[in-house]
């Protein structure tokens, strides 16, 4: 039986570490307990398989604005094909990419991916920007789940000018407008919007097409209000993610277990809610 689904994994393959994340990697190291070393697809699959777990692998695409190589739809599809018993895949398009981005969404659907991942801070564009409208329309048409990174990012943190990365596009309230305009689109607020946790909670309580991913908040730091929502109003729309390799599923789960939540709530957060979200 699947013990957990990690719904937020950035596959640490060499092309990701030496590609889109490369400009930030040195600065990120100061936040990490262990250095990130490149892994093969087999190693990542085995990491999860040995824990009776599955993982949602996220693409990354800021190519149109940064010129950086992306971890795109075909890369993610190849990883899923490598270990379909363990991996789900979310592709990525750069929202600034115009017609190319829309074509990328059709491609993600053709490749059988489950969704798309966005990182507004590094894309330097808010999800509510008019330029993105056609993307949400196309994702809705294909039933692709859209995961949006929200809140504080460690990318560019601690360096002058934050490496050019602005935090504002990652406000959860920008996702609220998208959720309102596209009620048929399933959206995930990743990281619970640190800096704007209240906003992330309000948006997900208010819009039933918005799900909350707990990556980015450690269980011991969860407020009584958030825990109450996890046990109540958001019980079917909140789920676990670790942000691996920037976070560790093992330490998160150890803290989670110490909270003493019921088996029913725990099972919903760790497995059932994501499984349902990904079922098409």
- What are residue 148's phi and psi, to 5 degrees? -120, 120
Closest contact distance (angstroms) between CB of 240 and Zn ion is 13
- What are residue 182's phi and psi, to 5 degrees? -130, 75
Q: Residue 6 or residue 243: which is nearer to Zn ion going by CB?
A: 243
Q: Residue 75 or residue 243: which is nearer to Zn ion going by CB?
A: 243
Give me the residue whose beta carbon is nearest to Zn ion: 243
Piece of 30-38, 99-107, 128-136, 236-244 that binds Zn ion (CB under 5 A): 236-244
Piece of 48-56, 169-177, 180-188, 240-248 that binds Zn ion (CB under 5 A): 240-248
Closest contact distance (angstroms) between CB of 130 and Zn ion is 25
Q: Residue 138 or residue 150: which is nearer to Zn ion going by CB?
A: 150
Piece of 28-36, 70-78, 84-92, 241-249 that binds Zn ion (CB under 5 A): 241-249
Piece of 19-27, 156-164, 239-247, 264-272 that binds Zn ion (CB under 5 A): 239-247
Q: Residue 23 or residue 261: which is nearer to Zn ion going by CB?
A: 23
Closest contact distance (angstroms) between CB of 141 and Zn ion is 25
Q: Residue 15 or residue 134: which is nearer to Zn ion going by CB?
A: 15
Q: What is the 3-state secondary structure (H, E, C) of the chain?
A: CCCEEEEEECCCCHHHHCCCCHHHHHHHHCCCCCCCCCCCHHHHHHHHHCCCEEEEEECECCHHHHCCCCECHHHHHHHHHHCCCCEEEEECCCHHHCHHHHHHHHHHHHCCCCEEEECHHHHCCCCCCHHHHHHHHHHHHHCCEEEEECCCCCCCCCCHHHHHCCCHHHCCHHHHHHHHHCCCCCEEEECCCCCCHHHHHHHHHHCCCEEEECCCCCHHHCCHHHHHHHHCCCCCCEECCCCECCCCHHHHHHHHHCCCCCHHHHHHHHHHHHHHHHCC
Select from 156, 154, 174 the least CA-distant residue to 165.
156
Q: Residue 60 or residue 136: which is nearer to Zn ion going by CB?
A: 60
Closest contact distance (angstroms) between CB of 1 and Zn ion is 27
Site string for Zn ion, 187-226 (x = CB under 5 A): ----------------------------------------
Closest contact distance (angstroms) between CB of 243 and Zn ion is 5
Distance CA 260, CA 241 (A): 19
Total interface residues for Zn ion by CB under 5 A: 1
Piece of 21-29, 45-53, 176-184, 243-251 that binds Zn ion (CB under 5 A): 243-251
Q: Which residues bind Zn ion (CB under 5 A)?
A: 243
């Amino acid at each position: 039986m699947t013990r957990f689904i990690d719904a937020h994994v950035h596959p640490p393959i060499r092309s990701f570490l030496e590609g889109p994340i490369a400009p930030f990697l040195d600065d990120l190291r100061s936040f990490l307990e262990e250095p990130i070393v490149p892994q093969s697809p087999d190693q990542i699959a085995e990491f999860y398989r040995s824990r009776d777990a599955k993982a949602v692998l996220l693409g990354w695409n800021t190519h149109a604005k940064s010129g950086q190589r992306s971890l795109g739809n075909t890369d993610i599809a190849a990883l899923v094909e490598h270990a379909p018993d363990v991996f789900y895949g979310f592709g990525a398009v750069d929202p600034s990419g115009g017609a190319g981005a829309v074509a990328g969404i059709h491609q993600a659907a053709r490749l059988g991916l489950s969704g798309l991942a966005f990182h507004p801070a590094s894309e330097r564009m808010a999800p509510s920007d008019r330029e993105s409208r056609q993307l949400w329309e196309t994702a809705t048409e294909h039933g692709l789940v859209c995961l949006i990174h929200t809140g504080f990012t460690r990318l560019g943190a601690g360096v002058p000018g934050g490496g050019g990365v602005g935090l504002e596009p990652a406000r959860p309230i920008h996702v609220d407008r998208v959720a309102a305009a596209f009620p048929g689109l399933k959206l995930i607020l990743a990281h619970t919007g640190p800096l704007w946790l209240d906003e992330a909670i309000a948006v997900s309580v208010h819009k039933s097409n918005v799900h909350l991913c707990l990556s980015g908040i450690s269980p011991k730091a969860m407020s009584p209000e958030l825990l109450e929502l996890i046990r109540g109003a958001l019980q079917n729309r909140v789920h676990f993610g670790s942000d691996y390799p920037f976070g560790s599923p093992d330490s998160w789960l150890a803290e989670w277990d110490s909270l003493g939540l019921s088996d029913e709530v725990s099972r919903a957060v760790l497995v059932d809610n994501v499984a349902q979200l990904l079922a098409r």
